[in-house]
Amino acid sequence: MGLKVYRPTSPGSRFSSVPDYSELDSKRPHKKLVFILPKRSGRNSTGKVTVRHQGGREKRFYREIDWKRNKRNIAGIVETLEYDPNRSANIALIKYEDGERRYILSPDNVTVGTKIMASENAPLTSGNALPLKAIPVGTLIHAVEIFPGKGAQVARGAGVAAVVTGFEESHALIKLPSGEIKRFNPESYATVGQVGNTDWKNVQWGKAGRKRHLGIRPTVRGTAQNPRSHPHGGGEGRSGEGMNPKTPWGKPARGKKTRSKFKFSNYLLVQRRK
């Protein structure tokens, strides 16, 4: 998929672009796999803001994605390719031989009518899900499970892909999109290919309003705030930070390493990202 650039008839459209959705199906999503996504606006169960700069987005319908790919050894056909407002990737509606329908992330180079399957013996083609032990070195993969049976947690964004780089006695070595190489359980399932909508990273938003529709609110500089709200605030006129950069809660903001030395998963790390 490419990008669509608007004719500059207004300041907001002058530099803006959107993904070209001409290849996607314009039908409504499959009704049984959709529910209204409640607005939380960055708040937890007690109503306290735990993630800043969120709120005011459009009403969304959540599409249930089959992260586990646990419909094994049953072939399916891609029925439609659809837009999903809840993620950067597009999604594909799969109709299986037994009549059941499920959504998966739409891999690159997959079209309507493509056959897909989740199986240890599935062919190495885009959209098929296999355990890591059955995937050869050098294969591009996405939607990787960390724990077998839990469902895909890694490499799920538009245009990303991980790479199988090797195998040890009891682990598969996967190079993640960040450049980090980590050990994974060879029984974990992953989907072959790269996630579609590869041009999403090149989208120019053009105006603040498009971000507001997505539920992203403005981020105010610390130096523009008052000293009760931020350590960088206060002072007469425009002033710099005047200190080592801090977060609103007084922690170091730039340069401090945050990875825990005692984290259980550290032994799974083979190579840090560059």
Number of other CB atoms surrounding residue 73 within 10 Å: 10
- Confidence check: pLDDT of 83 > 80: yes
The pLDDT score that the predictor gives to residue 2 is: 85
262: confidence class by pLDDT, cuts 50, 70, 90: confident
The token duo for 167 is: 């195998």
Mean pLDDT, residues 69-84 taken together: 95
Q: What are phi and psi of 35, to 5 degrees?
A: -145, 160
The pLDDT score that the predictor gives to residue 260 is: 85
The SS3 call for residue 234 is coil
Cβ atoms of 255 and 244 within 8 Å: the answer is: no
Mean pLDDT, residues 162-171 taken together: 95
The token duo for 257 is: 């390493």
Mean pLDDT, residues 28-41 taken together: 95
The SS3 call for residue 32 is helix
- Looking at 119-128, 196-205, 238-247, 251-260, which range is the least confident one? 251-260
The pLDDT score that the predictor gives to residue 116 is: 95
Domains and CATH numbers, the chain: 22-201 (2.40.50.140)
Among 160, 154, 162, 113, smallest CA distance to 265 is for 154
84: confidence class by pLDDT, cuts 50, 70, 90: very high
Length of the chain counted residue by residue: 274
- Confidence check: pLDDT of 1 > 80: no
Alpha-carbon gap, residue 266 to 274, rounded angstroms: 17
pLDDT tens-digit profile of 193-238? 999 999 999 999 999 999 999 999 999 999 999 999 999 999 999 9
Run of H or E including 212: helix 208-213
Contacts of the segment 67-70: beta carbons below 8 A, 24+ positions apart: 67/143, 67/151, 67/152, 67/153, 68/149, 68/150, 68/151, 68/152, 68/189, 69/104, 69/118, 69/129, 69/143, 69/152, 69/189, 69/191, 70/118, 70/149
Q: For residue 224, which amino acid is it?
A: A
Task: Give the pTM.
Answer: 0.90
Cβ atoms of 164 and 137 within 8 Å: the answer is: yes
Mean pLDDT of the chain, nearest integer: 94
